[in-house]
A = this chain, B = another copy of it.
Amino acid sequence: MGETSQLQKVYNQSTYKLANHGPRNVHVLKEAFQNVAGDLESDIYGKGRIIEDFQEKMAALLGKEDAVFFPSGTMAQQIALRIWCDEKGIKKVAYHPLSHLEIHEEDGLKELHGIETVLLADRDRVIDLDDVMKMGDGIAAVLLELPQREIGGQLPSFETLEQISQYCREQHIRLHLDGARLLEVLPYYRKSAAEVSALFDSVYLSLYKGIGGIAGAILAGDRDFIQQSKVWKRRHGGDLISLYPYIVSADYYFDMRAHKMGQYFEAAKEVAALFNSCYGITSLPLFPVSNMFHVHFSYPKDQMEQVLANLGQEVEVGITGRLTMVDEHSCYFEMSMGDQYSEIPKELVESLFERLDQSMKRHFDQ
């Protein structure tokens, strides 16, 4: 895995962590299976109660006719867009320049499905109605990601979503929701998952982000769409003989955490405010609209790593294990609030941010 950085080591050793639910280790699986009977039968190639029950539960949550469990969102979303392209006989879709499909999937959509893409909006803002209206003809589907992860988890207003949805329906353009973090945005919108999903023809939901499962995804839509997606799931090599290790854990952690998204959202706003109160640190967005945000430093990555690693040796609360360079002069990291924040004694949080502010001033205020 390459060498572990000093910052990562310090972070790993910290007693408490600001973000996330906890370490990604085998305990996550063991806990989920602890009370599951050994004689519970495996799903077999997409059949069986263990998978069908969960798919029905997710279809009901999302207010769609049907849903199917996929091993990954990468697979689910390429397939959704392929089905909409085939329906229209046009191999072109539109999405944000920082969509997961554009930057994290080795161009699977293009290389496997031969689908061209049109990039909507600028990299540093979310898609609005005007972007969709100006995208030109010959587009089978638009993908919206809520929240837009790579820019700190920003969101359009719900009114904008409604307008884009209405426009796409009028123009017979399919609208797909990259709802990897759909549950995480519901407290901000004050809507149910079904109310947001109703604006979209197809919806993808991740099972290991806010929910904290091991892996896996749900794709939901109407019956015919889901039937087609199962054929493509087999073609992709995603119709595994047994997917239950992911399904059982997704179901377990869904029940544990789906109702806590409001708590994570409040934590995000609180912690973002604490970062913003420190010298030379800004959150993006300034006021989080989900459980996530980015923390930006207007200083070089190597200097910031040193500052955070030094601080980490003096405090009990880990902030982050790694930074990403924006340019020579600035860097950032992603925060996703989860169960761990509520486990930290309040006075430790206060003292952490006091000392972070002091460290920043000591190093950079000249």
Which residues of chain B come closer than 8 Å to A113, judged between CB atoms? 112
Interface residues of A in 219-237 (CB under 8 A from B): 231-232, 234-237
A26 in contact with B244 (CB, 8 Å):
yes
Which residues of chain B come closer than 8 Å to A26, judged between CB atoms? 33, 36-40, 42, 244, 248
A105 in contact with B246 (CB, 8 Å):
no
Q: Is A208 an interface residue (CB 8 A)?
A: yes
Interchain CA distance A238-B334 in the complex, whole Å: 24
Q: Is A193 an interface residue (CB 8 A)?
A: no
Interchain CB contact (< 8 A) of A108 among B71, B73, B235: B235
The stretch of A57-65, A74-82, A141-149, A318-326 that contacts the partner chain: A74-82
Q: How many residues belonging to A are interface residues under a CB distance threshold of 8 Å?
A: 56
- Known interface pairs A208-B241, A240-B72, A245-B245. Does A106 touch B234 (Cβ–Cβ under 8 Å)? yes
Interchain CA distance A214-B244 in the complex, whole Å: 9
B1 in contact with A237 (CB, 8 Å):
no
B71 in contact with A42 (CB, 8 Å):
no
Interface residues of A in 12-29 (CB under 8 A from B): 23-29
Which residues of chain B come closer than 8 Å to A40, judged between CB atoms? 25-26
Q: Is A41 an interface residue (CB 8 A)?
A: yes
Q: Is A190 an interface residue (CB 8 A)?
A: no
Among A1, A26, A111, A243, the one with the most B-chain Cβ atoms within 10 Å of its Cβ is: A26
Interchain CA distance A46-B236 in the complex, whole Å: 18
This protein's copies in its complex: 2
Interchain nearest-CB distance for A304 vs B (Å): 23
B236 in contact with A75 (CB, 8 Å):
yes
- Known interface pairs A26-B33, A245-B214. Does A237 touch B39 (Cβ–Cβ under 8 Å)? no
A106 in contact with B235 (CB, 8 Å):
yes
B39 in contact with A25 (CB, 8 Å):
yes
Q: What per-residue 1/0 map shows which CB atoms of A235-267 lie under 8 Å from chain B?
A: 111111111111010000000000000000000
Interchain nearest-CB distance for A291 vs B (Å): 18
Which residues of chain B come closer than 8 Å to A24, judged between CB atoms? 41-42, 44, 241-242
Interface residues of A in 67-102 (CB under 8 A from B): 70-76, 78
A234 in contact with B25 (CB, 8 Å):
no
Which residues of chain B come closer than 8 Å to A38, judged between CB atoms? 25-27, 30
Query: Considering only CB atoms, which chain B residue lies closest to A34 in the complex?
Result: B30
Which residues of chain B come closer than 8 Å to A42, judged between CB atoms? 24-26, 28, 214
A111 in contact with B241 (CB, 8 Å):
no
B36 in contact with A33 (CB, 8 Å):
no
Query: Considering only CB atoms, which chain B residue lies closest to A77 in the complex?
Result: B237
Query: Considering only CB atoms, which chain B residue lies closest to A109 in the complex?
Result: B235
Q: Is A278 an interface residue (CB 8 A)?
A: no
Q: Is A344 an interface residue (CB 8 A)?
A: no
Interchain CA distance A75-B237 in the complex, whole Å: 4
Interchain CB contact (< 8 A) of A237 among B72, B111, B214: B72
Known pairs A26-B37, A74-B236, A208-B241; list 20 more (Cβ under 8 Å). Answer: A1-B44, A1-B48, A1-B52, A23-B41, A24-B42, A24-B242, A27-B39, A30-B38, A74-B234, A75-B237, A75-B238, A105-B235, A106-B235, A107-B235, A108-B235, A111-B235, A214-B244, A214-B245, A236-B236, A236-B238
Task: Enumerate the 10 nearest inter-chain pairs by beta-carbon distance, A residue then B residue, closest first.
Answer: A75-B237, A108-B235, A245-B245, A27-B38, A74-B237, A24-B42, A72-B237, A26-B40, A215-B240, A106-B234
